[in-house]
Copies of this chain bind each other. A is one copy, B any other.
Amino acid sequence: MTTLTVVSSRPIGERVLDGVAKWGFVAVTVALIAFFMITEPNFRTVDNVFGMLKYIAPVGIAGLGVTLAMTVGGLDLSVGANAGFAVSIAAWTLVVAGQVGGVAVGVVLLSGALIGALNAVLIVFAKIPDLLATLAVMFTVVGLKLIIVDGKSISSQMTLADGTTAPGRFTEDFLWFDRGMIGPVSVPVILFVALTALVWFILDRTRWGRALSAVGSNPHAARLAGIKVRAYRAAAYIGCGILASVAGLLLAARIGQGDVSAGNSLLLDAVAVALVGVSVLGIGRPNAWGTALGAVLIAVMVTGFSMMGLPYYIQDFGKGIVLLVALLFSFTFRRRATTISAGSTTAS
């Protein structure tokens, strides 16, 4: 009978390269943090660290949603629209309908789940390719939001169509999602870390995570192995929708009003951090901690460059260069080629 081949120890050179691929991105982030810490005394403060995390929390959480969609081999272009919808619907519930924070949270999560479910139905049952389906949903949801609020930001004391003043306001319990602290850490940071850990746990440690990645890597084979492919794909998009709406919840609490433009810039950022997450730890597939690290890298750059007093346009350039260097480390020195499946344009 055949015997197992013994693994010979690998040459040093290869191990170094593997290390570079695995830790290169992290090294760039650490180097950048060290640089800012040395040059900018204020960067070192605990306040600043938590401030950065707080600022990036919505992007990171929406990125976790995109990570879910990418795990089943898709991509969700509607996350920004979804978060924006959450902001307006929260404001509407609080201000126009005069409800308390708890109700608003419920409405927001429900709307996120529904938008996710709409994506799921279009992709899984109507067989529309994910990029196209979520693109159409993006337009529809943005439009729907603006129709609901008549194109206007909703704020307390605003005059309603019938001439009366809106009865409600952003309640304290709702604003807690931005301003609340648990110990020394603010609520958005805790939510961000907790949700990252949760998504990591589900994807990496549970059978459901296994099934999700099986669906993403070869849906056909997954089906024949007894995985309920359609259910898992639907679940991933619904999960993504809920995470996007949580991001919207944090934005709403931060802005304290139903800013109509909220969420617009979230899509690109969320997709970017999820993509960066694929490469960050040399894992080569969508993963939660990588996405979180990607978000942190962006926050570090934005804060550090601002503290250095660089104008915003030099920051864009800096972002690009740092990203490039990190990508070179992660991919160019790696021995096995990686392809990222980020959405398809053909029906599966």
Whether the Cβ atoms of A332 and B126 lie closer than 8 Å is: yes
Interface digits, A129-173 against B, CB 8 Å rule (1 contact, 0 not)? 101110111111111111100010000000000000000000000
Which chain B residues border A106 with CB–CB below 8 Å? Answer: none
Q: In chain B, what residue has the closest Cβ to A285? A: B346
A residues adjacent to B (C-beta < 8 A): 70, 75, 122, 126-129, 131-133, 135-147, 151, 272, 275-276, 278-279, 284-286, 311-321, 323-324, 327-328, 330-332, 334, 337-340, 342, 345-347
Q: In chain B, what residue has the closest Cβ to A286? A: B345
Which chain B residues border A334 with CB–CB below 8 Å? Answer: 127, 347
- Copy tally for this chain in the complex stands at 2
Whether the Cβ atoms of A127 and B321 lie closer than 8 Å is: no
Whether the Cβ atoms of B132 and A276 lie closer than 8 Å is: yes
Whether the Cβ atoms of B317 and A122 lie closer than 8 Å is: no
Q: Which of B132, B323, B342, B345 is the one whose CB lies under 8 Å from A139?
A: B323
Q: Which of B139, B312, B345, B346 is the one whose CB lies under 8 Å from A316?
A: B139
Whether the Cβ atoms of A278 and B346 lie closer than 8 Å is: yes
Q: Please give the distance in Å from A222's CB to the nearest CB on chain B.
A: 15
Q: Please give the distance in Å from A217's CB to the nearest CB on chain B.
A: 10
Whether the Cβ atoms of A143 and B318 lie closer than 8 Å is: yes
30 contacts between A and B (CB under 8 A): A70-B345, A128-B328, A128-B331, A129-B279, A129-B339, A133-B327, A135-B272, A135-B323, A136-B320, A139-B317, A139-B319, A140-B317, A140-B324, A141-B320, A142-B316, A142-B320, A143-B314, A143-B316, A143-B318, A143-B319, A146-B312, A146-B314, A146-B316, A147-B314, A151-B312, A278-B345, A278-B346, A284-B347, A286-B345, A331-B347
Q: In chain B, what residue has the closest Cβ to A118? A: B324
Q: In chain B, what residue has the closest Cβ to A141? A: B320
Whether the Cβ atoms of A132 and B340 lie closer than 8 Å is: yes
Q: Which of B139, B275, B321 is the one whose CB lies under 8 Å from A135?
A: B275
A327 to B133, CA, bound (A): 8
Which chain B residues border A342 with CB–CB below 8 Å? Answer: 75, 131
A279 to B122, CA, bound (A): 15
A137 to B320, CA, bound (A): 6
Q: In chain B, what residue has the closest Cβ to A318? A: B143
A145 to B314, CA, bound (A): 10
A150 to B340, CA, bound (A): 36
A323 to B122, CA, bound (A): 12
Whether the Cβ atoms of B345 and A128 lie closer than 8 Å is: no
A311 to B278, CA, bound (A): 40
A105 to B107, CA, bound (A): 53
Supposing A317-B144, A320-B138 touch, asked if A127 and B331 sit within 8 A by C-beta, the answer is yes
A127 to B330, CA, bound (A): 10
Which chain B residues border A340 with CB–CB below 8 Å? Answer: 129, 131-132
Q: In chain B, what residue has the closest Cβ to A323? A: B136
